């Protein structure tokens, strides 16, 4: 959430004109503000990560218009990375929407009530940001879009996950097992009946090179041991994510490298 978006009422232009905050998304990467040329009360604002925001009262109130926009991103995978939006000059009900950091081109034919994915032929996926649309003034079927293929978005994501890794504390793999045991005294009743066994004892077991190593853990230390095990799992999952991001980055870098070879060749 880098920028605070201030939605502007463009209709209240007076001598002492002032900017008024009229709601809308609290912040994110805002990019396009589009106004319907046939009805100046209808406005659209894009925002990564709240998606398309629409107003029908000249910017006084806003509502989300993301029906059918299926792109998602962010730490909890519920952010809508809408970046660009264009209204067809020939038909105000037709909107084109592009997303940030991943392939996502959407078209609406009902002024944003619903969108359909329209990206047949675009092969790039990760790192792709649709920056702008241009529609032929005489033919709505001819649409140009400009896009940027970048490792930047992925690089930021990598750094964010790397930051999480740095804050992880002590860790060790393994699992905790609860058991009841017999003692060293042969006369003890624990040897005669299972229900007299001593315990519970908690064993923290790990397998290393095929051998199981166990540490006896006092009950009062269980939560600390659990945090070690949780931290180990967390680190493993984060390494997996870092690997996945790195794989996407190298694929993009290979493509960019091949394009540069073509240019200079």
Cβ proximity to Zn ion, 188 vs 221, nearer residue: 188
Alpha-carbon distance 116 to 109, whole Å? 9
The least CB distance from residue 178 to Zn ion, in Å, is 18
- Please report how close the Cβ of residue 78 comes to Zn ion at its closest, in angstroms: 55
Size of the site for Zn ion (CB under 5 A): 3
Closest to Zn ion by CB, 186 vs 210, is: 186
Q: How far is the CB of 177 from Zn ion (least distance, A)?
A: 20
Buried b (16+ CB within 10 A) or exposed e, 157-186: bbeebeeeeeeeeeeebbeeeeeeebeeee
69: exposed, middle or buried (C-beta count within 10 Å: 0-12, 13-18, 19+)? buried
CB 67, CB 115: distance < 8 Å: yes
Q: Which is nearer to Zn ion, 26 or 183 (CB)?
A: 183
Of 91, 103, 12, the closest CA to residue 58 belongs to 12
**Position among 165, 183, 221, 250 found at the interface with Zn ion (CB under 5 A):** 183
**Segment lying near Zn ion (by CB under 5 A), choices 71-79, 93-101, 180-188, 202-210:** 180-188
Write down the least CB distance from residue 214 to Zn ion, Å: 20
- Distance, in Å, from the CA atom of 251 to the CA atom of 255, rounded to the nearest integer, reads 6
Q: How far is the C-alpha of 52 from the C-alpha of 64, rounded, in Å?
A: 6
- Count how many residues are written for the chain: 265
Nearest residue to 126 (alpha-carbon basis) of 155, 162, 86 = 155
Q: Which is nearer to Zn ion, 193 or 208 (CB)?
A: 193
Contact region with Zn ion (CB under 5 A), list: 21-29, 53-61, 138-146, 185-193 = 185-193
Of 190, 225, 235, 241, which one interacts with Zn ion (CB under 5 A)? Answer: 190
Query: Nearest approach, Cβ of 195 to Zn ion (angstroms)?
Result: 12
Among the listed residues 6, 188, 221, 254, the single contact to Zn ion using CB under 5 A: 188
**201 contributes a contact to Zn ion by CB under 5 A:** no
CA angle centred on 234, ends 230 and 235, rounded to 5° = 120
**CB-CB contact of 42 with 56 (8 Å):** yes
Which two tokens mark 240?
Answer: 């997996």
Nearer to Zn ion, 19 or 196 (CB): 196
Residues within the interface to Zn ion (CB under 5 A) = 183, 188, 190
């Amino acid at each position: 959430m880098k920028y605070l978006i201030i939605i502007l009422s463009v209709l209240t232009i007076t001598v002492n004109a002032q900017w008024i905050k009229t709601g809308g998304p609290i912040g994110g990467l805002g990019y396009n503000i589009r106004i319907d040329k046939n009805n100046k009360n209808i406005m659209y604002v894009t925002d990564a990560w709240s998606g398309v925001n629409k107003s029908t009262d000249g910017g006084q109130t806003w509502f989300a218009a993301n029906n059918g926009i299926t792109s998602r991103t962010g730490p909890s995978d519920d952010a809508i990375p809408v970046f660009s939006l264009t209204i067809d000059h020939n038909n105000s009900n037709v909107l084109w929407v592009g997303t940030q950091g991943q392939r996502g081109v959407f078209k609406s034919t009902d002024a944003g009530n619903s969108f359909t994915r329209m990206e047949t032929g675009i092969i790039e996926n990760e790192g792709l940001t649709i920056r702008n649309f241009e529609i032929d003034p005489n033919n709505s079927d001819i649409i140009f879009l400009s896009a940027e293929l970048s490792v930047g978005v992925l690089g930021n994501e990598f750094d964010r996950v790397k930051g999480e890794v740095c804050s992880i504390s002590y860790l060790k793999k393994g699992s905790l097992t609860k058991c009841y045991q017999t003692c060293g005294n042969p006369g003890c009743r624990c040897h005669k009946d299972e229900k007299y066994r001593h315990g519970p004892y908690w064993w923290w077991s790990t397998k290393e090179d095929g051998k199981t190593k166990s540490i006896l853990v006092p009950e009062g230390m269980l939560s600390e041991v659990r945090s070690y095990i949780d931290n180990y799992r967390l680190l493993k999952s984060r390494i997996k994510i870092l690997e996945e991001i790195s794989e996407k980055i190298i694929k993009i870098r290979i493509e960019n490298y091949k394009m540069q070879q073509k240019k200079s060749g």
